[in-house]
Structure 1
Amino acid sequence: MNTRRNISRGSDRGIDGLEIEPFSARSVILSALLGSHPPVLPVRALVRLAELFDIRPGTTRTSLSRMVANGELTVAEGHYALAGRLLERQREQDAGRHATTREWNGDWITAIASGDRRTMADRRAFRQAMIGSRFAELRPDIWLRPANVDNPPRPDEVIITRGVIEVDDTADLVDRLWPLAAIDARSQRLIHMLTAHRAEVDQQDDRLLPTTFTISAAVVRFLRIEPQLPNDLLPNDWSARELRPLYDDFAAAFDEQLRRFFASE
């Protein structure tokens, strides 16, 4: 039995169209911990969960050791916890579940990397921070978005401004920054998958967990970077508004199944 067949178990509704790679030991570990509050799980639960994806216990334990060595996890008394940048990623992931309700006054936030001697690691970290804060890149080292959210974290040698910008056509600028049609099409695809598989989650069948993991990972990844633009800049039928409550319902049943599964371990 291989991972791809496991992921498709119980359904033939085109789950491969979600463009999620087969889960490795690392991705199973990350998905489980990122979805846990607090993000701490015992090794036996992580090993057993990975086995549902046809990942051998030895492979999972090796991946856990490497993640600890890389500073991604900490371990104490047989329990592994998220660490470092992954804690910020969980915060971004959780924030994506809740759409901003702040009114937009027309201001924009601009983030500019001003240092001339930034390392590749600095550039990568800045880019990740901007994407996680739902900014879009106008050109290298210049990122911006409407100011209906809080300012992003400001690393060293980054300038952040907040205020009115003068532009010939705001709609044209938004189109340049975000491929709205493609984002909305992705959202509609995820809505279809959530709806099609919702009943399967209620079965609480552990053999279906790989399928549920795949769908959940696709939605969480999308919501983490969905731009959450002001309504004034979005189509009236923007489907992400529907996606969030649908996923809340789906995730509640999924979380309950995971709690039961981990408790059994």
Structure 2
Amino acid sequence: MSGSTVTLTAAPALTTRSVVLSLLLGAHPGRLPARDLVAMGEEFGVAPATTRVTLSRLVAARDLVNDGATYSLSERHLRRQAAQDEALAPRVGPYDGSWTVLVVTATGRDAASRAGLRADLRRWRLAELREGVWMRPANVATPVADDGLVTLRSYPDDDRALVAQLWDLDAWVATADELLAAADPSGPLRDRFVANAAIVRHLRADPLLPTELRPDRWPADHLRSVYDDFRSELTALRTEEKT
């Protein structure tokens, strides 16, 4: 691409809140001086006063913790950062043809409990075959702790057909290609910031399939590389702001 602008079809608006949280989620550890956050906000066209007000609101909402002149992610967002880090560097093992199957056996859960369990199952890249039956290839750990689940091991006759039933891989690749175009290094910083934030979200939906079950072209590693490069660019930019 030669600097053309690509519009993401489902990207959220870039707000001061999203800038601050994304910068902290990309920092290790998840804490930055106020001066860095204010200076980086200016790179995205945010007035210093607006960033300071946003920081105060994030602290009041318990999204951030303020320690003098430094702001840190709250416990909730530290968990979010851990999930983000796992998406960027997933632990994937060998595939022996077996699948993990989790069957929901508990009844009478309230809506919040059901939603929490479904979120956990999706976070560990399981897909729902039918109501209450979740599964995936057994090449990644599925540490979902719940007394209302029964764990089984299966060996499908046609694992490729099962993959096609559980995941829309063509749609995942199409979105990945859109994100890669939007994150082109020659584009405006603001647009690339939005695109790279969307890359992280998209990687959290990577089913982490074994190589044998993926399409011939699977751009997940390319997405991770692009995001790593952009995170390094932001780190360098923060360093330049200090000098």
Label 1:18 to 1:37 Cα distance change in 2 as closer, same or farther (>3 A). farther
The answer as to 2:115 corresponding to 1:124 is yes
- Counterpart-to-counterpart distance in 2, 1:243 and 1:40: 25
Q: In structure 2, what is the equivalent of residue 95 of structure 1?
A: 86
1:28-43 mapped onto 2 (5 Å cutoff): 28-43=19-34
The answer as to 2:232 corresponding to 1:252 is yes
Label 1:118 to 1:238 Cα distance change in 2 as closer, same or farther (>3 A). same
Q: What is the root-mean-square deviation in Å for CA atoms of aligned residues? A: 2.8
Displacement of 1:54 after TM fit?
4.1
1:1-265 mapped onto 2 (5 Å cutoff): 11-14=3-6, 16-17=7-8, 19-57=10-48, 59-154=50-145, 156-159=146-149, 161-165=151-155, 167=156, 169-194=158-183, 197-199=184-186, 208-261=188-241, 263=242
- Counterpart-to-counterpart distance in 2, 1:41 and 1:78: 9
Q: Show structure 1 runs of 5+ residues with no match.
A: 1-9, 201-207
- Counterpart-to-counterpart distance in 2, 1:174 and 1:133: 16
For residues 65-122 of structure 1, give each alpha carbon's deviation from its aligned partner in whole angstroms, at most 9, with x where no partner exists: 4433443322211322112332222112112223544111122223344443433333
**Contact between 1:146 and 1:230, CA under 8 Å: does it hold in 2?**
yes
Larger helix share, 1 or 2 = 1
**Contact between 2:104 and 2:149, CA under 8 Å: does it hold in 1?**
yes
Aligned AA for 1:225? Answer: A
Label 1:63 to 1:253 Cα distance change in 2 as closer, same or farther (>3 A). closer
Scaled by the length of structure 1, what TM-score is found?
0.77
- Counterpart-to-counterpart distance in 1, 2:68 and 2:83: 28
Q: Show structure 2 runs of 5+ residues with no match.
A: none
**Contact between 1:111 and 1:158, CA under 8 Å: does it hold in 2?**
no
- Counterpart-to-counterpart distance in 1, 2:106 and 2:49: 44
Displacement of 1:33 after TM fit?
0.9
State the identity as a percent.
Answer: 36
**Contact between 2:34 and 2:69, CA under 8 Å: does it hold in 1?**
yes
Aligned AA for 1:129? Answer: D
Give the secondary-structure state (helix, strand or coil) at the position aligned to 2:89: coil
Q: In structure 2, what is the equivalent of residue 6 of structure 1?
A: none
How many residue pairs match? The answer is: 242
Label 1:70 to 1:239 Cα distance change in 2 as closer, same or farther (>3 A). same
Aligned AA for 1:13? Answer: T
Aligned AA for 2:28? Answer: H
Label 1:101 to 1:77 Cα distance change in 2 as closer, same or farther (>3 A). same
Label 1:153 to 1:61 Cα distance change in 2 as closer, same or farther (>3 A). farther
**Contact between 1:113 and 1:157, CA under 8 Å: does it hold in 2?**
no
Scaled by the length of structure 2, what TM-score is found?
0.83
- Counterpart-to-counterpart distance in 2, 1:161 and 1:193: 41
Give the secondary-structure state (helix, strand or coil) at the position aligned to 1:225: coil
For residues 140-196 of structure 1, give each alpha carbon's deviation from its aligned partner in whole angstroms, at most 9, with x where no partner exists: 444321111122342x4442525224x4532222112111000111222233344xx
- Counterpart-to-counterpart distance in 2, 1:107 and 1:63: 49
- Counterpart-to-counterpart distance in 1, 2:222 and 2:45: 34
**Contact between 2:24 and 2:73, CA under 8 Å: does it hold in 1?**
yes
Label 1:246 to 1:51 Cα distance change in 2 as closer, same or farther (>3 A). closer
